[in-house]
Structure 1
């Protein structure tokens, strides 16, 4: 375990060092010139990018979470297989193809871009939520019934806290994927930092490319760490410890 921790820390330090070197090199080459010369446009594009991610993720939660709850009820477990496969099918379509498909259905603009990102967000949220609710120990539910708890109390006081780790894990995955995929909204007039990224690619201008790509990367990291904090707050301590021990055992076995 100690050796594994040392190796993990060394790899982490190496990666952070490489990132620091990359950021220093790009800054010394003046590749962030557009961030301060066109700061107004940058914040407008950043706002559009964040709006694309948050709106599409919010809609995905509204659809995927109730669906996961529905298919994990004892009476409807047979529907889980069909629902999972439909969601898996949607995920196999390349993100750029989904964005292009929305042009023919909804036209161009913010709404088609949100819908395309929504399709890509549903699977990780649904799959993790369904796995989280399915993994709740039946003995805990029976204990709740034995204490005279109503079904609604069992759901919110037993099932939700124990499934929170998996649910937020799915949301983290969906949002981080969305931050990167939202760049493709540029192709259908959805806005976002993809405008600078693909302008840089089309013009062979690294300053545009880096000024768009690096903030997108930092935005994904920000959302990931933010949701890790939320995950830590909402997940019971015992559940966090057991998940961490299971992860360490799996890593050690691998």
Structure 2
């Protein structure tokens, strides 16, 4: 039996399309997305307000540049293993928390650096005009700089989310979850008989990543104020 036949056979197994059984692709997809979205939201809550504040007052430029470099240098697998090892060393539950912390660390740099870059490149004349009409500093940040920087911020969120989606699959190596990556890890554990499961799991992760990319394109069109386009900036990740 070739690998295609093995994959088709695996996909046709009982409960493979169940929403409630752990063997089901829908169940694992929801698990994958829940962890990915949670990680992105937590990272956004930590990174965006801090970067918005620092960029408004033109502080933390070195921190923003460092975030870019860190984001490009951090090895995803190394982070997952590191936090799993630390959690197991200190008798902390390793089922979700180590992977969640690793995903958070991966998502922070692009969100922080893109928010900072987007706010810094807002035209000073626009900010001064709003200030002249009586806007307070917090109003300038939330009602002027944040909307104008939204294309760059969303580009950073897209980079962060796709990296997180890919890393959740890797996380299946060290925890019982791992979303769709569970199939890849379990397939390797079966040896030659798991080739179909490995291929199906890999295809599922790729399809999910493509769907997430398309979803972010729609979200960007919906959230970005009309007339704004994504500006070019060497510190922004897109």
In which range does the TM-score fall when normalised by the shorter chain? 0.7 to 0.9
RMSD over aligned Cα atoms: 2.4
Matched residue, 1:67:
50
1:55 to 38, 53, 65: 38
TM-score with structure 2 setting the length: 0.81
| Aligned 8 A contact 1:124 1:173 in 2 | yes
Q: CA deviation at 1:210?
A: 1.9
Larger helix percent: 1
Matched residue, 1:92:
73
Matched residue, 2:236:
none
Rounded Cα–Cα distance in structure 2 between residues aligned with 1:122 and 1:91: 12
Q: 1:217 to 1:183 in 2, by over 3 A?
A: same
1:200 to 187, 190, 195: 187
Please list every run of 5 or more consecutive structure 2 residues that lacks an aligned counterpart in the other structure. 89-93, 234-238
Rounded Cα–Cα distance in structure 2 between residues aligned with 1:32 and 1:144: 61
Rounded Cα–Cα distance in structure 2 between residues aligned with 1:216 and 1:170: 21
Which stretch of the first structure deviates more once superposed, 118-127 or 87-96?
87-96
What does residue range 40-51 of structure 1 map to in structure 2 within 5 Å?
A: 40=18, 41-42=23-24, 43-51=26-34
1:134 to 93, 99, 120: 120
Q: CA deviation at 1:159?
A: 0.8
Count the aligned residue pairs. 217
Rounded Cα–Cα distance in structure 1 between residues aligned with 2:73 and 2:54: 22
Matched residue, 2:17:
39
TM-score with structure 1 setting the length: 0.77
Please list every run of 5 or more consecutive structure 1 residues that lacks an aligned counterpart in the other structure. 1-24, 248-254
